[in-house]
Amino acid sequence: MEETTPDLSGFLRNFRAVAEAAEHAVGETDGVRFATVVAEHLGGPIGDMAIVGEEVPNHRYADWDTALGLLAAADPDGREVGVSGGEMRFHHSLSDFVGAAFVRFGVGQVDYVSLPVGHDERRRAIGFGVRLFRYKGEPVGVLQRQANRRFGQEYGSVEVICADRDLATALVEEARGLATEHSVLRGQVVTFDETGYGDESGGMSFLARPEVTADQVILPADSLARIVQHVTGIAEHAALLRRHGQHLKRGLLLYGPPGTGKTHTVRHVIHRSPGHTVIVLAGTALRFVSLAAAVARHLQPAIVVLEDCDLVAEDRSFGAGPKPLLFEVLDAMDGLDADADVTFLLTTNRVETLERALVERPGRIDLAVEIPLPDPSGRRRLLELYAGDIAYSDVALADAARRTEGVTASFAKELMRRAVLEAAVAGEEPGDAHLTRALDTLMGERETTTRALLGHAGAAPLGFGGAQPGVHR
């Protein structure tokens, strides 16, 4: 049987026909070629024009949209155009859009996206589109493209096209500065998590700034004042300290048993620092500490909160490399300039797990404050705080404070809730009798494990290191 030789010229003719059909289909979307619109705006052939690009991490995309919006707003005749071509356009760059040999993209609708810019605020931004405006008197085009995980794009991008490469570079540099100056993160409380487009960008969520006043924080005398002074006092006198060559970067460690109020104290510090950018990291999110430090450096004054560092202090599985994550944290603290107005605020339930590393690297933490179990006076204040508007008698509150030695703030909060529940079940208004019954229940033998979970220092629950049946310790 004679072997058939492929007709190469026929194949090429068919391929050309398909390419021309595709070009015609895309170009007919709106009847106007995208490249033609850009060339008319730039005032000349675009084949040899300069294109300068910049990658944009996901958490900075709103900042760059803000910056480019400010630059474009200076030209009252500026406009925004989109690119047609369906999903095909997501696989091409600006140079492809203005100079593709086979597929000629048409003008389409601008893709807009809604981005969070605060706890309960959003901004409409260009997700995929081009701004055409004049910059320093010269026409420019700027393509904005948001990160798109579906198409393997872990970063957003900005591409500038104009006749002068130096001008394009200057635009990118000015936009970068404006993005930092007008960052939507500035003065906000944010956290990074695992839901983003990669380790460098991470996911980002805005948190409401806590409303925790000083009278809601029950600590030993002077402890709260020392903590607040170390964070906000240094920030208030930053100019004077810099003038005298003193460092501003500082580390603050809050340590003590679980449930004593470390996180509550942190929330008060955040409340007392409305002008600070705050980045909160906990658990495995601590691996974003380098990113958090970079954000803090650019948006100072800032606070980086690292909660429960003891949980990952010696666990190598949470780090990006062979070092335990604690050392990643210490490296990030050491990497900032001494005059950076940044506070690293660490909390731990087990200070002994951090102590060796901190001693080996002195200077990272310059104030450590214990958040201990409350004393009798502290317990009475906690009970009054969580009682709210319920008028328990002095006798009942004093008795409850006496009987609850070794409890935490978490225990006091739960006690008051149970007292209200006792009253609700009985169909009565809360009073001393309900508080007494709730306390009797919580302090009874059947609630040993509950007390331990609420942070009672004297509780040793079965199965959690306490006495086993038939064994006395």
| Joined tokens for residue 446 | 């059947």
pLDDT band at residue 369 using 50, 70 and 90 as cut-offs: very high
The answer to whether residues 165 and 217 belong to one domain is no
Taking 60 as the threshold, does the pLDDT of residue 464 lie above it? Answer: no
Average pLDDT over residues 249-277: 91
Please tell me the predicted confidence (pLDDT) of residue 377. Answer: 92
The answer to whether residues 43 and 157 belong to one domain is yes
More confident residue, 50 or 135: 135
Model confidence over 345-368: pLDDT tens digits? 999 988 887 777 777 777 778 899
Model confidence over 406-463: pLDDT tens digits? 888 889 999 999 999 999 999 999 999 999 999 999 988 888 888 888 777 665 544 4
Please tell me the predicted confidence (pLDDT) of residue 200. Answer: 41
Taking 80 as the threshold, does the pLDDT of residue 126 lie above it? Answer: yes
Please tell me the predicted confidence (pLDDT) of residue 460. Answer: 54
| Joined tokens for residue 353 | 């797990």
In a domain, 462, yes or no: no
Please tell me the predicted confidence (pLDDT) of residue 330. Answer: 75
Compute the distance between CA of residue 343 and CA of residue 333 in angstroms, rounded to an integer.
Answer: 9
Compute the distance between CA of residue 25 and CA of residue 19 in angstroms, rounded to an integer.
Answer: 10
The answer to whether residues 201 and 318 belong to one domain is yes
CB 34 within 8 A of CB 143: no
Average pLDDT over residues 285-310: 89
The answer to whether residues 242 and 324 belong to one domain is yes
DSSP string, 149-171: GGGTB-SEEEEEEES-HHHHHHH
The residue type found at 65 is D
pLDDT band at residue 241 using 50, 70 and 90 as cut-offs: confident
The answer to whether residues 19 and 154 belong to one domain is yes
Please tell me the predicted confidence (pLDDT) of residue 311. Answer: 72
Please tell me the predicted confidence (pLDDT) of residue 11. Answer: 62
In a domain, 467, yes or no: no
Taking 70 as the threshold, does the pLDDT of residue 25 lie above it? Answer: no
* Most confident stretch, 22-31, 247-256, 331-340, 355-364: 247-256
Rounded to the nearest integer, the mean pLDDT of the chain is: 83
The answer to whether residues 292 and 260 belong to one domain is yes
Pairing mode, strands 367-370 and 250-255: parallel
| Joined tokens for residue 423 | 């009253």
In a domain, 459, yes or no: no
CB 424 within 8 A of CB 438: no
| Joined tokens for residue 359 | 């001693």
CB 66 within 8 A of CB 184: yes
Structural domain tally of the chain? 3
Average pLDDT over residues 385-406: 93
Pairing mode, strands 203-207 and 250-255: unpaired
Backbone phi and psi for residue 40, each to the nearest 5 degrees, phi listed first: -65, -40
Please tell me the predicted confidence (pLDDT) of residue 462. Answer: 43
- Residue 414, domain CATH: 1.10.8.60
Please identify, among 181, 201, 217, the residue that sits at the C-terminal boundary of a domain.
181
pTM: 0.81
The answer to whether residues 310 and 392 belong to one domain is no
Taking 60 as the threshold, does the pLDDT of residue 322 lie above it? Answer: no
pLDDT band at residue 203 using 50, 70 and 90 as cut-offs: confident
Compute the distance between CA of residue 442 and CA of residue 439 in angstroms, rounded to an integer.
Answer: 5
Interior angle at CA 417, CA 411 and CA 423, nearest 5:
135
- Residue 217, domain CATH: 3.40.50.300
In a domain, 272, yes or no: yes
Range of the domain at 423: 376-453
Q: Which residues contact 145 (CB under 8 A, 6 or more apart)?
A: 127, 128, 153, 156, 157, 158, 159
- Could you write out the three-class secondary structure of 100-147? CCCCCCEEECCEEEEEEEECCEEEEEEEEEEEEEEECCEEEEEEEECC
Average pLDDT over residues 241-268: 87
Average pLDDT over residues 130-155: 91
In a domain, 129, yes or no: yes
Tell me, rounded to whole angstroms, the distance of Cα 223 from its chain centroid. Answer: 28
The residue type found at 226 is R
Half-sphere exposure at residue 419, Cβ-oriented, CA atoms within 13 angstroms = 26
More confident residue, 470 or 387: 387
CB 371 within 8 A of CB 219: yes
The answer to whether residues 29 and 146 belong to one domain is yes
Please tell me the predicted confidence (pLDDT) of residue 48. Answer: 79
Least confident of 62-76, 99-113, 165-179, 385-399: 99-113
Assign 260 to helix, strand or coil.
coil
Distances (CA, A) of 82 to 41, 127, 142, 221: 14, 10, 11, 62
The answer to whether residues 276 and 384 belong to one domain is no
Helix 325-335 / helix 289-298 crossing angle, nearest 10 deg:
20
Please identify, among 370, 389, 412, the residue that sits at the C-terminal boundary of a domain.
370
The answer to whether residues 380 and 365 belong to one domain is no
pLDDT band at residue 142 using 50, 70 and 90 as cut-offs: very high
| Joined tokens for residue 157 | 């991008």
Strand partners, 342: 302
Helix then strand then coil, % of the chain, to nearest 5: 45, 20, 35
Strand ranges inside 2-120, DSSP E: 50-56, 79-83, 107-108, 111-118
Please identify, among 181, 197, 216, the residue that sits at the C-terminal boundary of a domain.
181
Return the C-alpha torsion angle 51, 40, 142, 47, nearest 10.
-20
Environment class of 361 (CB within 10 Å of its CB; exposed 0-12, middle 13-18, buried 19+): middle
The answer to whether residues 351 and 244 belong to one domain is yes
Compute the distance between CA of residue 185 and CA of residue 63 in angstroms, rounded to an integer.
Answer: 8
